[in-house]
Amino acid sequence: MDSDAFDLILQQKPARVLLAVSREGGTYASVISREIESTFSHTTNILGKLEEQGIVMFEQDGSDNRVKRVELTQKGEATAALVEELSAVLDGKKTGKKGTAGKKTKKAASRKDAGNYGEKLEMIKARIELISGEELEGRGSISQEDYVRIGRRLGPYRRELRKIMESGGKEDVKKAGGLDGEIEKVFGERERLRG
């Protein structure tokens, strides 16, 4: 086990940065700073450490060399899923399904990606289940704030699924379509609970 990465992720701010990048699905340090209520310099310092651990990566955004988007790597996606699951367990929002998202993540991460989107689809499936359980399970109604947050959390996955449906192989397109249908069901439930 890489103890540096372990120690980093189990700190409050780095975990919140990781989850913010995960929810936004590719964003900027300034957006993350606002979301986690941290200074820009502290956030960029954390992002630099996460990059050193291979958890996030920076991509140039357009022609401006100064503006860089931050995104999760495959290792980062797997880590974020496990941190979200741990958070749900600690908050008492997840019980009974001990480690299922983590097992799916480990299984997906151990496979070689031979030109298909299998690993990404498994990750998205686990995230949809996790978000649905956290946000909607056992609730009689939701607020406007909840409604918007659910959309923000699932929106990036829906965009990823649409990309896969446009460029993936036949089997991947079929799986992505099914997962897009699952997101649509969550959105339908979200609409129903909003009243």
For residue range 49-93, list pLDDT tens digits in order: 999 989 999 887 666 666 788 888 888 888 888 888 887 777 676
- Is 101 within 8 Å of 119 (Cβ atoms)? no
pTM of the model: 0.47
- What count of Cα atoms within 13 Å lies in the side-chain half-sphere of residue 121? 24
Give the SS3 label for residue 113. Answer: coil
> Which backbone phi and psi does 67 adopt, to 5 degrees?
-95, 120
* Lowest-confidence pick of 53-67, 71-85, 99-113, 154-168: 99-113
d(CA 77, CA 187): 23
Q: What is the pLDDT of residues 17-52, one digit of tens each?
A: 888 888 777 788 888 888 888 899 999 999 999 999
Q: Give the residue among 43, 19, 11, 48 at the shortest CA–CA distance from 30.
A: 43
What is the pLDDT, as a whole number, of residue 166? 85
pLDDT at residue 143 is higher than 80 = yes
> What tokens does 157 get?
């996955």
Taking the alpha carbons at both ends of the chain, their separation in whole angstroms is: 47
